[in-house]
Structure 1
Amino acid sequence: MEKDGKSNLEEVVSIDSEEDTTPKIGMEFDLEDEEYLYYNIYAGYVGFSICRDWLNRSKANKTTIISCKFCCFKASYKKEVAYDGKKSRMELRYGCEAQVVISRQKNGKYRITLFEAKHNHEVATLRSKHKLPTQRKISAAQAAEAELANRSGIRQKLVFEFMSKQAGGRENLGFTLKDTSSHLQSKQMREMKEGEAFTLIHYFEMRKSENASFFYEIQLDVDDQITNIFWADPKMVVDYDLFGDIVCFDTTYRTNKNHRPLTPIIGVNHHRQTVVFGAKLLYNETVETFLWLFQILLKAMCGKKPVTIFTDQDLAMAKAIVEVLLEPHHHLCQWHIYQNALKKLNTYFQSLNSFAAEFKSCMCDHEYEDDFFQAWESMLDKHGLQENSWLIIFEVREKWAMVYGRNHFCANITTTQLSESFNSRL
């Protein structure tokens, strides 16, 4: 298989018929791998998968292969395994004798010395050939498309279905959903060795070697992949011990290429200057993630809990605060509440000049609970909002109405603006 002194394996790959790729005794190849690829191309047209059965190496040079046998992946026999004494696993191997044997010649080339084409089992149909192990392959273009979609946050299953439609069906795609997942995981592992994760951990270890009080924690998933990261330097820990009664907690995006939430933990000192108590890179914003986050915060800060914590209207975060922190008074950011009201009740804000003032008054002005109740009911009756679904925020009024917050220390803070300002500067 030689042309102008070079292997024409690339031409072989483009052959379109089974007859053209059928191995023949006497065919020669420059490399043992070339014969493997050639036989695999033939197997793809026929509808079976191949494997190396055995090989013999030179005694003088262990890297030199003297002879080798490639066979159908159903060549050997495999014992059935019973489950619960009732069902047995479907037999996958049948002692198939389809094979190719090659041997090294004096000229250094590998010649086919034996070829058996007959199978003792049914081969794969056209619609199922793409599931054969040695026929599944993701091209460079397909890999790039999957990686781009993954970085954009698109689910792997949706990417796979879209690429299948582009190819005219799954059978034309050349790989399975599992192959997509394996490729992305392998890429992540390669990048981790000398990528962002490696650099970050190296930095943490360097800081910890300089000062043993430097704290960091990394959470891994079931596949030992990094999910969440928390760190706090010694100054952050000391600041939290002194000023950690008030904590502003917010998530921000667009600070890293993967758009993972960066979560700085912010407070104020005795001069009302912003201080940072710690930072986290989160994989997502689920209840489980926030549970881990608050548990690690307490671990880093020797168990000290804040008196008051400010957040936005994140339900997952609220559940985690109740379960882990328990004691702190949870305030919702009044600015977020007002902005959400502008979106949900936009018609009333635009058409009624008095509505904005009345809503804001309910949030900030009243000193007694009875006055707050009366003003709230008056606003609902006046504008016909008794059945408005968004105004169920009344059920969590203790978290946003100032009439309830006056009895809790909050350093005159009512919003998470501290976090947002810090994010903006960062």
Structure 2
Amino acid sequence: MGGGDQPLILTDCSLEETENLLSPVVREEQPDPLDVDIFGILTGDSPLRYIGFDQQGCRSSLVYQTPNGSRYWCPDVSSQFKPVVGKIYLSWDEVYKTYETYGEMSGFQIRVAGYKKWKGEITHRVLVCNKAGKPRGKMIDSVNPASMSRARSSCFKFTSCKALIRLRAIKGTTNYVLYEFSENHNHELVSSENMDLTRKGKHLNFDDLHFVHAMSLNRVGATVAHRLQTSLKGGHHNMRGTRNSYKNVSHDIRMFIGERDMQLVLKKLEDRATNLHNFSFEVYHFEGVLQAIFWADDVSKLNYQLFGDVIAFDATYSTNKYNMIFVPFTGVDNHKRCVTFGTGLIHNETVESYCWLLEAFMKIHVKHPRLVLSDQDPAMRIVVPNVFTQSVHRLCMWHIMKKLPSKVSGDLIHNSNLRSRLHKLVWNVYISTATFEEKWHNLMAEYALENHIWLNEMFSIRELWVPCYFCDIPMCCLMKTTSRCESSNSMFKVTSGSTNTLVQFLMCFDTAIDNQRYNQRVVDFKSKSTTCVFKTGLELEVHAAKIYTQTIFKDVQKEIYKCMISCFITNVDVVDNFKVFTVSHMNNRSDFVNHFKVSIHMLEHSYECSCMGFTRVGYLCRHIFCVFRLHQIKNILDRYISNRWRKGSLPSRVYSISQRLSVDNSEVSVLRNEVADCLNECVDHLTFNVDGLSSFNQKMKELKRELVDNFPCSSSSQKKQCLIEHLVGQHDEHIIDLLPPHGIRNKGCGTNRRLVGPGEKAIENSKKNPRMCRSCNQLTFHDSRNCKKKASVGESTSEK
């Protein structure tokens, strides 16, 4: 080495070991005694003896033993695959592939040990067995047992193996000449059955990474994903990677995301706003920390325009690692299925957070809903009327009525007659508001509950939750509770867990929303391509089957059927321009239980029933159908056909592939899927044809060799980085200017044990058998150990 340049050595071994590996190329010295002995073994001039063949599955190796008992393995490989001293290789990639192929046939793995440079150019390279070098770390001192507690309990794979090849670069070209080849190993070689457990065998390709990632988006763990993949591929011998390799995928993805989580989310949303039609999102951050986010795509907007007359929203927790609160806005589509109008993530459940979220909702959707349903959250009660100024706010009945066991104490709550009468009164949609108030006061007086604080409080806000106060609002009976929100939230929580980053949560959300829309597409196709069985033979029923979806048709069919067997016209009056029909409605016991008035405007030919069924649910009631039958009306009038219940309400673009959020529509992904489909079709065509499969296999191997030669692959680390970027997205900037929130503390986080309210405790106690308490001498659900009376007596005694 001259000119003052120092040799640059990069190696996985120590500096001393690398010098020893590379030193013969710059100076002459005596060969290693080990090499002399092995050479003597092969030529027959050494006293060391030949043992025989070591069978390793489908391969074998020659085994020799020295006088001191050491063994050496020489791979028994055909000479055409062995590296040849003096051979010139056109490139480094050719050298690496040749030695790698030889190692796979022999049963060992290779790695680059080091190289030397002269004036910036590589002059020498070395490839060694992966067991070359000495064990790293400190050895355990048997004299000092205390050192065993400090030493890490792990195995090592290095055995100072001397198998290697040395190459010299030909100046001015990319060629290399092989000048030394040592093929003997001081360790047993790997059998063909265990090659899948080597480092290269455990390396996952793109399909494996994509499979693990796709399973994680459906909340399927790495262990289960490995087990599923093993079954799909027909056994472990066809697998790449171990269970730990699958587990490391999630770790690698999270390490790649790191602090760039929010930047990746914003990049995804910005790309969608650019590439997807009518995609919108809003973000609110404070001092570089995310506070809230809301987004909706074109399909959500179309669904809202058609089905957004009634919406419900309810917060849910444990969907991401930052404990941000997930708030989806839910409605009902034309098949009575849950449909999502938009989604938000907020920092906390304050008035300010909900106000920003609802304003973002209005900014994107513009139109006000007719009815907004929520629970009794104080912040929601303030914000909803202030933002949705043209909407009616309604509280969830179920949340209110489930508190009844905990609010009404004593023997009254065990009175089934009180509970049934109260539920029957509250849920009745046919009575007037005056009748409701009268019956409520009578019921409270009968059970001496006039001064009950909670019941009086609920009565004071009766306009917010009792159904009879909403009868004049269109589609008021579409949703009475937030149970659809609970169903929607559970659907999203099936795919997303509390350990997900925000970008992972976004991908999980895409998977869940695509499943929701797939189910919507399935029922829509079924509704258009099949016909229900008719029951009445009326042309009204046939016409209803043509215009309504199957789900709604079954409800309308029931009304038409009931108009024939349960409804009778008992009186007809003419008042001004109205003809009023009195329709008596019988129950199953054939008792006349109710009378309804159907008014017909004779000039405008409009129909109105006192039950207000069309207003409440959007299709005609049995009482009007009874009058239709009397007048032999064969078709439902257009003015009484709500567009939200029609077949094909949504345009066809809603179901196009370009609108599916979890589908990768990039050119490389489309081509990759086409290639995979073509391969699968060929294999499927030749499923049981041995000759055809053999010929196809041979052609595929030839094509594989051609592709490998013509399209060189990047290094494994670079390739893995590219694969992860393809799966979760990439952010080119190195500066992180927006961070996800940290330290969020809400009522849905902080403990794995869910808080149980007094209502649930009362229900659980009702299932238990009461027992006698010796302290208070009562038949209760406690004993003397936790008796409150005994505790109060003890406190009073101690005070004295």
Q: TM-score, length-normalised on structure 2?
A: 0.28
Q: How far does residue 375 in structure 1 lie from its aligned partner after superposition?
A: 1.5
Out of 349, 374, 384, the position equivalent to 1:285 is: 349
- Map 1:4-403 → 2, pairs under 5 A: 194-221=259-286, 223-301=287-365, 303-347=366-410, 350-365=413-428, 367-391=431-455, 392-403=457-468
Amino acid in structure 2 at the alignment position of 1:272: K
Count of paired positions: 235
Whole-angstrom CA distance in 2 between matches of 1:387 and 1:191: 62
- Which SS does the other structure have where 2:403 is aligned? helix
In structure 2, the CA distance between the partners of 1:234 and 1:356, relative to structure 1 (3 Å rule), is: same
Aligned to 1:97: none
Q: How far does residue 396 in structure 1 lie from its aligned partner after superposition?
A: 1.4
Q: How far does residue 210 in structure 1 lie from its aligned partner after superposition?
A: 1.4
Whole-angstrom CA distance in 1 between matches of 2:285 and 2:403: 35
Equivalent residues of 1:246, 1:411 under 8 A apart: no
Aligned to 2:484: 418
Aligned to 1:59: none
Whole-angstrom CA distance in 1 between matches of 2:406 and 2:257: 42
Aligned to 2:572: none
Amino acid in structure 1 at the alignment position of 2:265: L
Q: How far does residue 279 in structure 1 lie from its aligned partner after superposition?
A: 0.4
Q: How far does residue 400 in structure 1 lie from its aligned partner after superposition?
A: 1.1
- Which SS does the other structure have where 1:305 is aligned? coil
Equivalent residues of 1:306, 1:328 under 8 A apart: yes
Output one character per residue of 1:104-151: Cα deviation in whole Å (capped at 9) or x when no partner: xxxxxxxxxxxxxxxxxxxxxxxxxxxxxxxxxxxxxxxxxxxxxxxx
Amino acid in structure 1 at the alignment position of 2:417: S
Whole-angstrom CA distance in 1 between matches of 2:403 and 2:385: 23
Output one character per residue of 1:71-96: Cα deviation in whole Å (capped at 9) or x when no partner: xxxxxxxxxxxxxxxxxxxxxxxxxx
Output one character per residue of 1:30-86: Cα deviation in whole Å (capped at 9) or x when no partner: xxxxxxxxxxxxxxxxxxxxxxxxxxxxxxxxxxxxxxxxxxxxxxxxxxxxxxxxx
- Which SS does the other structure have where 1:241 is aligned? helix
In structure 2, the CA distance between the partners of 1:192 and 1:377, relative to structure 1 (3 Å rule), is: farther
Larger radius of gyration: 2
Q: How far does residue 318 in structure 1 lie from its aligned partner after superposition?
A: 1.4
Q: How far does residue 420 in structure 1 lie from its aligned partner after superposition?
A: 0.5
Amino acid in structure 2 at the alignment position of 1:359: L
- Which SS does the other structure have where 1:267 is aligned? strand
Identity of aligned residues (%): 30
Amino acid in structure 2 at the alignment position of 1:362: L
Q: How far does residue 360 in structure 1 lie from its aligned partner after superposition?
A: 0.8
In structure 2, the CA distance between the partners of 1:425 and 1:382, relative to structure 1 (3 Å rule), is: same
Output one character per residue of 1:340-364: Cα deviation in whole Å (capped at 9) or x when no partner: 2232225456432212112212311
Equivalent residues of 1:342, 1:349 under 8 A apart: no
For the aligned residue pairs, the C-alpha RMSD in angstroms reads 2.1
Q: How far does residue 266 in structure 1 lie from its aligned partner after superposition?
A: 0.5
Q: How far does residue 212 in structure 1 lie from its aligned partner after superposition?
A: 4.9
Whole-angstrom CA distance in 2 between matches of 1:226 and 1:305: 27
Whole-angstrom CA distance in 2 between matches of 1:373 and 1:235: 43
- Which SS does the other structure have where 1:270 is aligned? coil
Higher RCO (CA < 8 A, seq sep 6+): 2
Aligned to 1:84: none
In structure 2, the CA distance between the partners of 1:267 and 1:346, relative to structure 1 (3 Å rule), is: farther
Whole-angstrom CA distance in 2 between matches of 1:363 and 1:191: 55
Aligned to 1:161: none
Structure 1 unaligned regions, length at least 5: 1-189
Whole-angstrom CA distance in 1 between matches of 2:338 and 2:293: 22
- Which SS does the other structure have where 1:284 is aligned? coil
Whole-angstrom CA distance in 1 between matches of 2:389 and 2:409: 35
Amino acid in structure 2 at the alignment position of 1:406: C
Structure 2 unaligned regions, length at least 5: 1-254, 493-800
Whole-angstrom CA distance in 2 between matches of 1:256 and 1:367: 45
